[in-house]
């Protein structure tokens, strides 16, 4: 292809032929200088981009290192915490009771259908958890380390005394009764009740208003000897006591019997029929027991 043909091809595509752009040596020198400057500018930009990339990479590496360090530290803390504050959980079946000796020598008796958790070793705190059920606590005195029982959001603080905490999840109330010494009972609303011997505080789980009563507190732990003593107890409390003692399921209308309160005493050595006959006499119920040890209670209730 000759020069004329090349020029014609450039013009066909609307491109100025190189022969028209660079007519003398000055133009060519100018072009070389411009190309050199563009190359230098490109190199400078690349160097800047490389510095920025290295800086970002350094920051990312530092962030990763910090994250790894945090994870390792957290894992170490959790590892230490787990193996130094491991807990033991005790579940007591219906129809049974159980006695425990805690790490500080304190004693706990758990009623039927109770779940209790405590640490293998006490440290600066002596805190245990009554997750469900009822427990009688006889606490070793330590003026420097208070003993705390947590149950349903209620904390019972003692230095050394004996008391009963009743906190069944199936009941609408929970209570603390003192057999000896003094306890401080507080809730999540910062309400605190100071109880002495033969005093009991009752919390309704709905409104959480504490109600302090005078009681014969020794009766609150009578179940430990197989005796069930309920004074002015709501029907739900009575039903649960029978269910736990005789390992049965009782069906009844909670609304119809909501306002029923009764006092009753019986021993778990008595038969289920004997106890139900006693409830029939004081509450006027009728009942049926099927083969699956399920009891159906009907009656007019206490409207």
Question: DSSP labels for 142-179?
Answer: -TTS-EEEEETTEEEEESS-EEEEEE-TTSSEEEEEEE
SS3 state at 110:
strand
Q: Which residues in the chain land under pLDDT 70? A: 1-46, 49, 52-53, 56, 58-85
User: Given the DSSP bridges, would you call strands 199-204 and 98-101 parallel, antiparallel or unpaired?
Assistant: unpaired
Q: Of 65, 88, 86, 84, whose CA–CA distance to 76 is shortest?
A: 84
Q: What is the spatial distance between Cα 65 and Cα 243, in angstroms, rounded to a whole number?
A: 58
- What pLDDT is stored for residue 218 in this prediction? 95
What one-character DSSP code corresponds to residue 224? G
- What pLDDT is stored for residue 191 in this prediction? 85
pLDDT tens digit sequence for 272-284: 999 999 999 999 9
* Residue that has been written with the tokens 């469900």 in this structure: 132
Complete domains list, the chain, with CATH: 3-82 (no CATH), 86-222 (2.60.120.1440), 226-303 (3.55.50.30)
- E strands, 199-241, in order: 199-204, 210-214, 227-234
- What pLDDT is stored for residue 82 in this prediction? 43
Instruction: Sort residue 293 into left (φ over 0), alpha (ψ -120 to 50) or beta.
Output: left
Tell me if 112 sits within 8 A of 97, measured CB to CB.
yes
Q: What is the spatial distance between Cα 206 and Cα 118, in angstroms, rounded to a whole number?
A: 27
Sign of the four-CA dihedral 260, 264, 267, 272? negative
Find all residues with CB under 8 Å of 71, minimum gap 6, and list them: none
Q: Within a 13 Å sphere around the CA of 75, how many CA atoms are in the beta-carbon half? A: 6
Q: Within a 13 Å sphere around the CA of 79, how many CA atoms are in the beta-carbon half? A: 6
What one-character DSSP code corresponds to residue 43? H
- What pLDDT is stored for residue 69 in this prediction? 56
* Chain Cα centroid distance, residue 297: 35
Q: Of 267, 303, 265, 260, whose CA–CA distance to 283 is shortest?
A: 260
- What pLDDT is stored for residue 126 in this prediction? 96
What one-character DSSP code corresponds to residue 181? S
Q: Tally DSSP H helices, then E strands, for the chain.
A: 5, 18
Q: Of 219, 216, 187, whose CA–CA distance to 199 is shortest?
A: 216
- What pLDDT is stored for residue 79 in this prediction? 42
* Residue that has been written with the tokens 């021993």 in this structure: 267
Rounded to 5 degrees, what are φ and ψ at 252?
-160, 175
SS3 state at 63:
helix
SS3 state at 30:
helix
Q: What is the spatial distance between Cα 139 and Cα 178, in angstroms, rounded to a whole number?
A: 12
């Amino acid at each position: 292809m000759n020069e004329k043909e090349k020029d014609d091809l450039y013009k066909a595509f609307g491109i100025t032929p190189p022969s028209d752009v660079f007519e003398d040596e000055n133009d060519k020198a100018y072009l070389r200088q411009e190309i050199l400057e563009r190359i230098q500018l490109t190199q400078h930009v690349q160097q800047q981009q490389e510095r920025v990339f290295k800086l970002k990479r350094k920051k990312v590496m530092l962030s990763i290192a910090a994250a790894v360090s945090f994870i390792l530290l957290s894992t170490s803390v959790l590892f230490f915490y787990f193996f130094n504050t491991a807990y033991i959980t005790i579940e007591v079946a219906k129809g049974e009771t159980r006695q425990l000796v805690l790490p500080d020598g304190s004693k706990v008796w758990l009623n039927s259908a109770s779940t209790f958790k405590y640490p293998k070793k006490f440290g600066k705190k002596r805190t245990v958890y009554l997750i469900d059920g009822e427990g009688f606590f006889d606490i070793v005195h330590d003026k420097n380390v208070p003993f705390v029982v947590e149950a349903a959001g209620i904390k019972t603080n003692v230095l050394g005394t004996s008391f009963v905490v009743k906190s069944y999840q199936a009941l609408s109330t929970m209570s603390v009764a003192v057999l000896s010494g003094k306890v401080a009972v507080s809730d999540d609303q910062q309400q605190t009740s100071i109880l002495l011997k033969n005093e009991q505080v009752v919390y309704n789980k709905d409104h959480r208003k504490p109600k302090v009563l005078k009681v014969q507190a020794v009766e609150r732990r009578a179940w430990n000897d197989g005796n069930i003593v309920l004074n002015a107890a709501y029907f739900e409390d009575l039903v649960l006591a029978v269910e736990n003692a005789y390992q049965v399921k009782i069906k009844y209308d909670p609304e119809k019997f909501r306002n029923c309160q009764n006092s009753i005493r019986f021993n778990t050595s008595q038969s289920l029929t004997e106890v139900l006959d006693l409830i029939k006499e004081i509450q006027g119920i009728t009942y049926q027991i099927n083969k699956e040890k399920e009891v159906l209670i009907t009656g007019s209730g206490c409207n």
